[in-house]
Amino acid sequence: MSEYKVFVSHGSDDSWLAGQIAKEIKEAEAEPFLDETHIPKGANFKKRLHEEIADSSELLALFTPWSMKRSWVWIEIGAAWIREIPIVAVFYGMSVNDLEESGQGKAILEDINILALNEFTTYLKELASRVEEARE
């Protein structure tokens, strides 16, 4: 792995917000991955997702009322969990209680790695530290 990569998992309805998050990740000197900007039309989508998760240093899952029931978000989280890379869940427009009430539950998400979008600056500082450690 030549650079510190962050796989940004999100629902298609949240593409704009995921793009803003990716810009901030890039400013923290990590390389974000977004499927809609990094996978060309006509490519083998499933294969590329598998390759990108395999090459990622961590996964950030954006949870919104629209994405919380998207199967691909949970598949990507599961793939990151199998790889034992950090998984951070960012909640916007909802809470962990909303996830629990939806019947999804928080599954493999760890409380310590769940934050509201308003706490995203803290994540970015910690990400910058991980990027720096990976360079050493």
CATH superfamily placement of domain 5-135: Toll/interleukin-1 receptor homology (TIR) domain (3.40.50.10140)
d(CA 89, CA 86): 10
Q: pTM of the full predicted structure?
A: 0.88
Pairwise CA distance, residues 102 & 46, whole Å? 27
The string of pLDDT tens digits covering residues 13-63 is 999 999 999 999 999 999 999 876 655 566 655 777 788 899 999 999 999
What pLDDT is stored for residue 43 in this prediction?
A: 63
Phi, psi of 56 (to 5 degrees): -90, 150
